[in-house]
Amino acid sequence: MRLLLTLIELLAFRPFRAILQLYIHFGPARFQKIRLGSELSEATLNEISRFRKTQYEGSQPYLIPDSPEAVTEENHLDLRSYHGIARDRSGNIIAVARFTPYPFETTRLLGAELTTPFREHLEISRVVTSKRRSGIGRRLLIQGGCFAISTKRYRGFVAVCKSGNLAIFEKFGLGTHGRHLIPGRPASPYHFISADFFRITVTTFAYTGRKFAHACSVILSPFL
């Protein structure tokens, strides 16, 4: 079984991730190398906070820290988390994502009992883009997955998401473990979702395969 998994990794998953890397960087957005918050400059961390504030202040104000304690907590979480950042050609941030090792923000919100079984996973949070439905969210999640797998330190992803966003994460193989009310978040209940990287890679493989086949059929249809 181990030999089979190694063969699948070498002959399928690794080339697939190489193709995904090409896909991520193919397009107008510039995707920065994913780094730990403590490796980023204070200016970049402030840029991320400002970008989140501009994106959340309308629809999700509860994701903007509103007290000195909340700001300290958010800064601490940002320093020990990995950050995905996409910029436009002028260098402006157009999307961000956060990948947090255990203990997660979800551990504070929903308790250790729910999250401890996933302590070797990374938590996805604060995924937001100013250019909706343009494939940037997809690329940021794929970049996060490729990065996390390449570290060989994590087993999968967890996250909490609203019912309305569940479909996005299901495209990458994440599935719900049930819904939870989160204190202070009006848009509750939230799904607690997770998947290991084998399932995420297989599902993303099928998902991108369908998109590739669809793109080919569109391109070839005039000639068929």
Ligand X SMILES: CC(C)(COP(=O)(O)OP(=O)(O)OC[C@H]1O[C@@H](n2cnc3c(N)ncnc32)[C@H](O)[C@@H]1OP(=O)(O)O)[C@@H](O)C(=O)NCCC(=O)NCCS
Closest CB to ligand X among residues 128, 149: 128
Comparing CB distances to ligand X, the nearer of 13 and 23 is: 23
Structure tokens at 169: 């994460």
Q: Does 98 bind ligand X (CB under 6 A)?
A: no
204 near ligand X, judged by CB under 6 A: no
Using CB under 6 A as the binding rule, whether residue 96 contacts ligand X is answered as no
Residue 3 C-beta: closest distance to ligand X, Å = 34
Q: Cα separation of 223 and 72, whole Å?
A: 59
DSSP letter for each residue of 135-158? SHHHHHHHHHHHHHHHHT---EEE
Q: How far is the CB of 162 from ligand X (least distance, A)?
A: 6
- Of the residues 84, 137, 144, 156, which one makes contact with ligand X according to CB under 6 A: 137
Contact 190, 165 (CB under 8 A): no
Per CB under 6 A, 158 contacts ligand X: no
User: Judged by CB under 6 A, does residue 128 bind ligand X?
Assistant: yes
The answer to whether 100 touches 84, Cβ cutoff 8 Å, is: no
168 binds ligand X (CB under 6 A): yes
**Phi-psi category of residue 133: left, alpha or beta, with phi > 0 → left and psi -120 to 50 → alpha:** left
165 near ligand X, judged by CB under 6 A = yes
**Eight-class DSSP state of 33:** P
Give the list of residues 6+ apart from residue 79 with CB closer than 8 angstroms, or none: 36, 37, 38, 45
By CB under 6 A, residue 89 contacts ligand X: no
By CB under 6 A, is residue 167 in contact with ligand X? yes
127 touches ligand X (CB under 6 A): yes
- Residues 31 and 89 sit within 8 Å (Cβ to Cβ): no
Coil, strand or helix at 134: coil
C-beta of 17 vs 126, nearer to ligand X:
126
Q: How far is the CB of 169 from ligand X (least distance, A)?
A: 7
**Residues in touch with ligand X (CB under 6 A):** 127-129, 132-138, 161, 164-165, 167-168, 171
